[in-house]
Structure 1
Amino acid sequence: MKKSIFLLAAASLFTFASCESGNETRTEDTSERIEEDAEEAGDKFEERTDEAGDKIEDAGDDIEDKVD
């Protein structure tokens, strides 16, 4: 009796595990969207830091020109 209950429980768990859930695809979509947003934010951050670095270099060059 215990074996049949165990087999029935195992079969039902396997059935539920093998079904593709809509929740799973939503989770994957959300993960992809988060990843894309993070990459975009990283690109914007890199662009802004490059611009800031260029401004700092230009300011340093201006100061050197004034000193000379």
Structure 2
Amino acid sequence: MLKSIEAIFDGEVFRPAGEVELEANTRVRLLFETLLIDHAEPLSFLELASQLELDGPEDWSLKIDDYR
């Protein structure tokens, strides 16, 4: 059976990045490719907040003190 999981190598062992549906002590063969991580500039707070798609009243930012 062929499955694909993402893992992180900590210098000694591979640690799954998510849940693995295998019983403990199951033998596996690992074939791997390294994943390229985008090292782009960090997002500003406004860029990050806009990606969160927060839901609230339209006047939220105008009456922030009323919603505490």
Same fold (TM over 0.5): no
Structure with the bigger percentage of helix: 1
Structure 1 length as normaliser, TM-score? Answer: 0.18
Structure 2 length as normaliser, TM-score? Answer: 0.18
Query: Greater RCO between the two (CA within 8 Å, min separation 6)?
Result: 2
